[in-house]
Amino acid sequence: MPHKLTKTHVILFIATFITTLLAGAFMSGVIPWEQPEKIYLGLPFSLTLLFILMTHELSHYYMSRKHNVPATLPYFIPAPSIIGTFGAVIKMKPPIPDRRSLIDIGASGPIGGFIIAVIASAIGLSLSEVKPTGELQGGLSFGTSILFDFLSRIILHVDPEKYDILLHPVAFAGWIGILVTSLNLLPIGQLDGGHIAYALVGEKHIWISKGMIPILIVLGIIFWPGWIVWAVIMIFLGYRHPPVVYPWIELDRKRKIIGWVSLGIFILTFTPAPVTGL
């Protein structure tokens, strides 16, 4: 039986809609308590981001149900932050039958969210403004990935290193979706990337998981201090992955391709320095 929609799901979703709506309004230059009639300007950002997060989590949910793994519907997490949310999660009840079902469940969310994030980024970039480098003063500067850099070049026909792009709220939501995809694909513990790594290499996953911690620390020293925070969080959450019930069932060619596709998505979406000061 599918997990039922509860009051908690509804309340958290409404709260997250409100916080992301307010965040989107701020991006559009609206001060909600002074211009409440213009809060609707936050809708493009809010609805785009919620759609990306919803697609990610419902993809996990669908695959969990397909493989008879009990899972809840998504819980959205509101937050008083620049984007208005800490994301969304579903809860799965182990055990997971085998590595084939594990890679299906683990990869479905990042791939689903990735597709929507790319579409949103492309649409949003076509609505964004281009400014000569140095013209924008103050605020935050958002880093780029191989993918977002490529989209910026082909859609805006500019070199992102020579111009500043004032992202449309839809593009910013897409950028966040791309960043969230890469964070989830880190091959550590029980992140989506951890599920995929365990499905591909089994118990050897622990060495990949442990090896990523010093890599994150080095990235934190060189590029962005936030990686050190991520390393600490990952240490706290743990490196290990619970075993599947039937570990002797091998991955078929289709699942191995899914694993390589996920690795490619991780490389394309990884952003070494997500946020810097201008």
Mean of the pLDDT values across residues 243-268? 95
Q: What is the pLDDT of residues 2-11, one digit of tens each?
A: 568 899 999 9
Mean of the pLDDT values across residues 72-89? 94
Residue 138 has pLDDT above 80, yes or no: no
Q: What is the pLDDT of residues 192-201, one digit of tens each?
A: 999 999 999 9
| Domain extents in the chain | 7-277
Mean of the pLDDT values across residues 164-179? 95
Residue 134 has pLDDT above 70, yes or no: no
Q: How far apart are CA 147 and CA 234, in angstroms?
A: 26
Mean of the pLDDT values across residues 104-119? 97
Is 0.85 topped by the overall pTM? yes
Cβ atoms of 274 and 177 closer than 8 Å: no
95 band by pLDDT with thresholds 50, 70 and 90: confident
pLDDT at 111: 98
Cβ atoms of 178 and 52 closer than 8 Å: no
Mean of the pLDDT values across residues 55-67? 96
79 band by pLDDT with thresholds 50, 70 and 90: very high
Higher pLDDT, 191 or 141: 191
Residue 217: which residues within 8 A CB-CB, separation 6 or more? 227, 228, 231
Mean of the pLDDT values across residues 173-187? 97
Residue 278 has pLDDT above 60, yes or no: no
1 band by pLDDT with thresholds 50, 70 and 90: very low
Q: How far apart are CA 25 and CA 144, in angstroms?
A: 23
Residue 93 has pLDDT above 90, yes or no: no
Residue 160 has pLDDT above 80, yes or no: no
pLDDT at 63: 96
153 band by pLDDT with thresholds 50, 70 and 90: very high
179 band by pLDDT with thresholds 50, 70 and 90: very high
Residue 184 has pLDDT above 50, yes or no: yes
Across-strand partners of 165? 130
Phi, psi torsion values for 220, nearest 5 degrees: -65, -35
